[in-house]
Amino acid sequence: MKIEMEKIVSLCKRRGFIFQNSEIYGGLGNTWDYGPLGVGLKKNVKEAWWKNVVYEREDMEGLDSAILMHPNTWLASGHVESFTDLLVDCKKCKKRFREDDLDKHICPECGGELTDPRQFNLMFKTFVGPVENEASTVYLRPETAQGIFINFFNILTSMRRKIPFGIAQIGKAFRNEITPGNFVFRTREFEQMEIEYFVKPGTDKEWHDYWVNERLEWYKKYGIKQENLRLREHGKDEMAHYAKSCFDIEYLFPMGWSELEGIANRTDFDLKQHTNYSNRNLIYFDEETKEKYFPYVIEPSAGVDRSSLAFLIDAYKEEEVRGRKRVFLSFHPDIAPVKVAVLPLLRNRGDIVELSKKIKKDILNQYVTVYDDTGSIGRLYRRQDEIGTPYCITVDVQSLEDRAVTIRERDSMQQDRISIDQISQYLKDKFSLLH
């Protein structure tokens, strides 16, 4: 089924996943706010990633470095010089374009004459302290990676690590993108999940292949369909200034195949550069072999927003049920922002409401559970389907007598009548089957 981006944008607004930022002021272009369900989705994506790449491994440490760093970081990394796009301006309508987006050297909007291309740095600048001058200039980080490189030695020594090992970090990054768009796919403020994995030179190719495979499997494990994922190797002309080789994991977004995650071999570029620009020698000494070397780095770099968008698109389903369209998100249970909803059949019956709230409270210890009585049962199911809640528990008049409830599964809509004291075991069995 081909899914248009408008459908996803509309569902995200309708159901509280993602809102236009500054909407009451007319909106700030290509800037988005994550609402109650969006926060849950993003949090789950980050947790699934962290669990997989940090907690479940023996060779990884976590980090949360500051967004602002010493400005020399960006001189060393090459971003001041090379993190640029070639831009042209229209002399007539004054609009600005990326040169590589244009087929012909005329303005695509008004046909006007264009200026010669000029380099435009994508980093946002700001100032520390009250004086705005060159000496106080700092940048909002355009990647979280550099926070990892400048902490390489701190982590190596404090955690008594040996090569190979990795450092993982999740955090905001900022780029003054010229052509943002496609909802949260390309924005100026976004979140990255990055790993810098340090290896012995000569073993880098093998580790690169390993990480490409690991990361592909992660997306599949959490529900992205195999046919919507592909690998693409970068050509020499499109590689970042630090990379020796790079693979993109691409997803079939509504606008076509586009990058979901990049996995680059950054060689020893960054550690050598920081050694040259700082007063620290970041060379590694291998105690066993007595060798000294700058480790090579394999970098799987994913976007939280892009992954969340891919999970939303891949989960989006429409079907006809008794002549009516049903929309639901078939999220993997770990990705679903809400796991269980408890719904009273009659909201004006105090005894049913009380029992429903008690059931919700009991389940809440194990699963994110909501109680909802804001509409008829049909409407309540529709809402839970559209936010991708795997199980709905309905409490009815009979529940007061037989101490049983109806549990409805999201994708099949199959309903089971379960004794209240069996709910916990029932959900445990069902969720473990879905993993």
Binding residues vs ligand GAP (CB under 6 A): 143, 145, 175, 177, 186-187, 190, 192, 194, 259-262, 299, 301-303, 305-306
Residue 109 and residue 93 in contact, taking contact as beta carbons nearer than 8 Å:
yes
In degrees, rounded to 5, the angle at the alpha carbon of residue 174 between the alpha carbons of residues 279 and 122 is 80
Residue 179 C-beta: closest distance to ligand GAP, Å: 10
The residue type of 254 is P
Report the nearest approach of ligand GAP to the CB of residue 364 (Å). 33
Rounded to a whole number of angstroms, the minimum distance from the CB of residue 243 to ligand GAP is 9
Query: Is residue 303 a contact partner of residue 177, using CB atoms and an 8 Å limit?
Result: no
From the list 404, 338, 325, the residue with the least C-alpha distance to 371 is 338
Contacts (Cβ under 8 Å, ≥6 apart) of 202? none
Q: State the nearest-atom distance from the C-beta of 304 to ligand GAP, in Å.
A: 8
Q: What is the DSSP letter of 326?
A: E
Phi, psi of 387 (to 5 degrees): -100, 0
Cβ nearer to ligand GAP, comparing 215 with 408: 215
Q: Round to whole Å and give the CA distance between 90 and 346.
A: 63
Given its phi and psi angles, is residue 93 left (phi above 0), alpha (psi -120 to 50 degrees) or beta? alpha
User: In whole angstroms, how close is the CB of 31 to ligand GAP at the nearest point?
Assistant: 11
Output 270 or 372, the one with its CB closest to ligand GAP.
Answer: 270
Measured CA to CA, the distance from residue 330 to residue 124 in angstroms comes to 38
Spell out the long-range contacts of 422-429 with Cβ–Cβ below 8 A and sequence spacing 24 or more.
423/359, 423/362, 423/363, 423/393, 424/362, 424/363, 424/366, 427/340, 427/363, 427/366, 427/367, 427/391, 428/366
Query: Residue 267 CB, nearest distance to ligand GAP (Å)?
Result: 14
Cβ closest to ligand GAP, residue 103 vs residue 237: 237
Cβ nearer to ligand GAP, comparing 243 with 340: 243
CB of 261 to ligand GAP, least distance (A): 5
DSSP at 135: G
The residue with tokens 């066993």 is 288
CB-nearest residue to ligand GAP? 303
With respect to ligand GAP, which residue has the nearer C-beta, 88 or 263? Answer: 263
Judge whether 407 and 393 are in contact, CB under 8 Å: yes
In angstroms and rounded to an integer, the radius of gyration of the C-alpha atoms of the chain is 25
Comparison of 269 and 391: residue with beta carbon closer to ligand GAP: 269
Smallest separation (angstroms) from ligand GAP to the CB of 260: 6
Q: Could you give the maximum distance between any two Cα atoms of the chain, in Å?
A: 80
How does DSSP classify residue 422? G
In angstroms, the CA 316 to CA 308 distance is 12
Q: Of 223 and 262, which has the nearer Cβ to ligand GAP? A: 262
CB of 85 to ligand GAP, least distance (A): 12
